[in-house]
A and B are shown apart, each in its own frame.
Chain A
Amino acid sequence: MLAHTFFFYFFSIISVGSALMVITSRNTVHAVFFLILDFISIGCLFIMIGAEFLGMIMLIVYVGAVAVLFLFVVMMLNVAEQKQSWFRGREKSAHIPVGLIVSIIILAEVLVVVGGWKYKSNFIKTEMLAVDGNLTNTHMLGNVLYTQYIHLFQVAGVILLLAMIGAIVLTYTKRQGVKTQSYFTQLSREKKTSIKLVEVDSNKGVKIDG
């Protein structure tokens, strides 16, 4: 029991601490690395409550894919050293009021949602749920996801597909004058069509591509 508690506090302290570091570190790339640390420790917390599938998916999706793209953007934009370190320097940033307003709105929304939350009168405690011990976490998740919530699951898939198509449409521009290799013509080249022996008279030279 002690070990469990110890590891719980270990991971939660790391996750809260790194979440704080995400918003306070001066170097944007460091902020992303702290975000990754946060994701990893949250994944570990998932595994600790027995949700091993969710924990691993957390690692694969967020750390393995999403955070890599974050890093890409941050590194490519070259915004590594933040000019406005509002919590240390005296300079004032124009982003602070906007950020404050957004976070206040989100806080208000969360308050409304949580405040209006009502448990059903026949609310079942989690430890009383009928859980089949023989089934693994993954099987149980699949049993619910593909039967009871199949429509929501598919709607989520369609939304993701829409987002993907939208991103492609927004960024796709047909550039003019770009020379690209046609794999078909490249692979169908043969010795006969690509090599030509030319008799050259002396002191005359020869025109290629004529």
Chain B
Amino acid sequence: MEPIINVEYITIFSSELYKIVFILVPVLVSVALVVWLDRRIWGAVQKRKGPNVVGPFGLLQTVADALKYIFKEIIIPASSDKAIFILAPVVTMTLALVAWAVIPFSNELVLADINVGILYLFAVSSLGVYGIIMGGWASNSKYPFLGAIRSAAQMVSYEVSLGIIIINVLLCVGSLNLKDIVNAQQDLWYVIPLFPMFVVFFISALAETNRPPFDLPEAEAELVSGYQTEYSGMMYAMFWLGEYANILLMCAMGSILFLGGWLPPLDVYPINIIPAPIWMILKILFLFFLFALVKAIVPRYRYDQLMRLGWKIFLPFSLFYLVLTASFLFYFDKLPTKLF
């Protein structure tokens, strides 16, 4: 007779539980640091100092901000749909954090090594639009609603080209597992053969995370601050944390797909003794640096130009490059027939 409670399952569960904490806490801390970094880079580009008062170099600025948000009153508009209004920031935050489960930081250091890792990441990032739509609709107010509609259209449009870019990489790898994708780049990072796709990926990631120059959902000149207008206190902070966690996630995705994940740039002595997770973090930070630079130096797009870029330029171009990659791999007999 089978035991009612499988002891093995409980041990697996408890041994996995601390891993979840060990991945969530660093992500949250790095989100706080990254917000500070973003503001510092932004300031440096504009010849300002940026936050430099709280803590050493202003490192604790985000903590101070978060404390302020916690002690502020949460105001729920009377005419709002209360359940969905409260659920929206929770959804944003949860989805931004839940995706980190599959991100590999080295060959061993991964929480869930699943077969369809990249599809999981793509699915979670495509679910991210719901936090915004829910927040915008539930506020029952014009500007949040307009912001939500804009954002939904924008994210759905750029997801299409993002999907095709991912297919480009998958064609070269032959597996949906994130570890396999990184290990396939042992000889050559995909940023070199697929450089145009890397550029398109980077711009699509900007649009997907509603970062400037594509921050139309919260264009303050037109829409107050878009879907976040009615939010205050901790709920606003959750939107904000979720947004930055999503940006970091996109950077991680970019470094896995194109920059060889945890692999060192050259497999020679002084470089390859640096542990793998450090490389992964350095690459994420490099991509984030680019994100922050773009925020500081590029003006906001007009909405019709944004849509045109997504549908009329990126989609045909990435489809064309897909055909090119497939034909190249087929002609030179480089198709990955080895099954992982």
Seen from chain A, the residues whose Cβ lies within 8 Å of a Cβ on chain B are 1-3, 27, 29-30, 33, 36, 52-53, 56-57, 59-60, 63-65, 68-69, 71-72, 75-76, 134-139, 181, 183
Contacts and interface: CB of A to CB of B under 8 A. Distances in A.
Interface in B69-100: 81, 84
B246 to A, nearest CB: 15
Given A64-B127, A71-B133, A2 B4 contact: yes
A52 B6 contact: no
A56 B152 contact: no
B159 A64 contact: yes
Pairs A-B, 9 closest by C-beta atoms: A64-B126, A56-B119, A59-B123, A136-B115, A60-B123, A52-B116, A56-B116, A3-B9, A56-B123
Contacts of B126: 59-60, 63-65
A71 B155 CA distance: 14
Nearest to A137: B115
A1 B122 contact: no
B156 interface: yes
B204 to A, nearest CB: 15
Question: Chain A's interface: helix, strand, loop or mixed, by majority?
Answer: helix
Question: Chain B's interface: helix, strand, loop or mixed, by majority?
Answer: helix
B279 interface: no
Nearest to A183: B308
A134 B133 CA distance: 41
Given A64-B127, A65-B156, A138 B5 contact: no
A2 B137 contact: no
B331 interface: no
Interface centre among B4, B145, B152, B308 (most CB of A within 10 A): B152
A56 B120 contact: yes
8 contacts: A1-B6, A2-B4, A29-B81, A29-B137, A60-B119, A64-B127, A76-B149, A183-B308
Contact of B176 (A33, A69, A72, A138): A138
Nearest to A63: B127
Nearest to B174: A139
B156 A2 contact: no
Given A53-B116, A60-B119, A60-B126, A68 B6 contact: no
A68 B152 contact: yes
Contacts of B129: 64, 68
Contacts of B134: 33
A7 B253 CA distance: 30
Given A29-B137, A136-B340, A138-B116, A64 B123 contact: yes
A28 to B, nearest CB: 11
B339 A68 contact: no
Contacts of A33: 84, 134
Contacts of B152: 68, 71-72
B6 A135 contact: no
Nearest to B5: A2
A64 to B, nearest CB: 3
Interface in B139-162: 145, 149, 152-153, 156, 159
B217 to A, nearest CB: 14
A75 B119 contact: no
B2 interface: yes
Contact of A138 (B115, B130, B133): B115
B136 to A, nearest CB: 9
A71 B88 CA distance: 15
